[in-house]
Amino acid sequence: MKNGLKVGLAGVGTVGGGLVKLLATRGDSLAARAGRPIELVAVSTLAHRKNPDADISSFRLVKNPVALAQDPEIDVFVELMGGEGGIAKESVEAALRAGKHVVTANKALLAHHGYSLATLAEKNGVALNFEGAVAGGIPVVKVIRESLKGNDISRVYGILNGTCNYILTQMEREGMAFADVLKEAQKQGYAEADPTFDIGGFDTAHKLALLTSLAFGTRTSFDSIYIEGIESITPADIEAADDLGYRIKLLGVALRTESGIEQRVHPTMVPKQSAIAEVDGVSNCVAIDGDFVGDVMLIGLGAGGGPTASAVVSDIIDIARGHVLPPFGTRSKDLKPYKKAQMRAHEGGYYIRLSVYDRTGAFAAIASRMAAQGISIESIVQHRSRAGLAGSDRTHKGSAAHVVMITHQTTEAAVRKALAAIERDGHVDSKPQMIRIEKL
């Protein structure tokens, strides 16, 4: 058997701790699969953030991650600290310049700096592997980068954040408000104390930026992604979706069009009979549409110490076998600059919920505003929601009722202009809700 592959690990949090345990418990079998032993020899971690579940006492401790990245005794630098810049970026760059292979699960770092880091890795003839950065234990990076290279991919989309999927699942099952489910998710460890990164859609967007580059051979362009979180979703929306035959999911969608690439993150109504509608709780899924393979969907645990450590180990084993590919499947010099798609009509149409004052002329005014923007309505339903109208102003303007409209295909700009005018007219007692309906 070949000499051991020596690994340095920076970051011993949830994922780093999972990696330490996996290497310790599966050492012999991993060596057999890799063709050589995989040896964790040095660790860098902040003293106040040590993982009590991961025993690192037998490893050499290196205080500075950059020093570890340049350490002559390691072959692979594993970065699990997180963060789009700072010490994570400095240490990864240092490792690549020193001719060390790098494995990371840091989606924020790669979403913002993936192109420059890939260029640096290729220049120095080393790997930059990141299977754990997208959808945890789901092997989607390898599937797109290797297994589907014979295909032209037209679309990649999915549920990429377990926290949001858990919240939306519980809102549907228990009829709870968003804020109440969020508190429950925080108690159970599914959501951070500051959940903005997850519920605001930014975590999903970082992962989508990587999937876009892998699928379409473009440079990462995080700033081009339209991002909308789930904070505005109410029990009334969940209820209306159910009545209409849909479930609400936070999706990341990247789509090739004639004018460029469309990237968006937003709550979406998906048909109940679709496979993605059945992905509940903290699970993730990624769907890929290829011209020869057809539609492929991968489902599994998208986060956590075990699943993500599994992905990190698979990247390390590839390196141990001498399997080094361009990080994004295409050489960095051949990655095309990202070209944002022109605005077009959304084929699935839109769900619109208005809380309308029950008074003469309100509905006529709303219909007029829609018509002015060329919006055709497929269906309209007026009802008093079982979820209630908590927080509505009914003092001097009369009672309000929910009006749910489904549009035919139209542009988002048209819908937003119409809703802004409706709100200015004073016929609604709260901000209008708009959710895309996706054809899957």
Catalytic residues: 207
Distance separating the N- and C-terminal Cα atoms of the chain: 49
Phi, psi of 382 (to 5 degrees): -110, 130
Residues in CB range of 312: below 8 A, 6 or more apart = 15, 19, 78, 80, 103, 105, 131, 132
Query: Kind and range of the H or E element at 182?
Result: helix 178-187
Please state, in angstroms and rounded to a whole number, the distance separating the CA atoms of residues 118 and 326: 7
| C-alpha distances in Å from residue 7, one per residue of 56, 69, 79, 127 | 13, 10, 11, 14
Residue 270 tokens, joined: 């998906």
The alpha carbon of 215 is separated from its chain's Cα centroid by a whole number of angstroms, namely 15
Please state, in angstroms and rounded to a whole number, the distance separating the CA atoms of residues 432 and 370: 13
Phi, psi of 287 (to 5 degrees): -115, 140
Residue 241, burial from CB neighbour count under 10 angstroms (0-12, 13-18, 19+): buried
Please identify which residue in the block is written with the tokens 């993605």.
276
Please identify which residue in the block is written with the tokens 């020869």.
292
Q: Do 132 and 157 touch, CB atoms closer than 8 A?
A: no
Q: Do 42 and 68 touch, CB atoms closer than 8 A?
A: yes
Calculate the dihedral angle through the C-alpha atoms of 423, 424, 429, 434, rounding to the nearest 10 degrees: 10
Please state, in angstroms and rounded to a whole number, the distance separating the CA atoms of residues 43 and 325: 26
Nearest in space to 20 (alpha carbons), one of 11, 31, 28 = 11
The alpha carbon of 414 is separated from its chain's Cα centroid by a whole number of angstroms, namely 27
Please state, in angstroms and rounded to a whole number, the distance separating the CA atoms of residues 59 and 308: 22
Please identify which residue in the block is written with the tokens 């509940």.
280
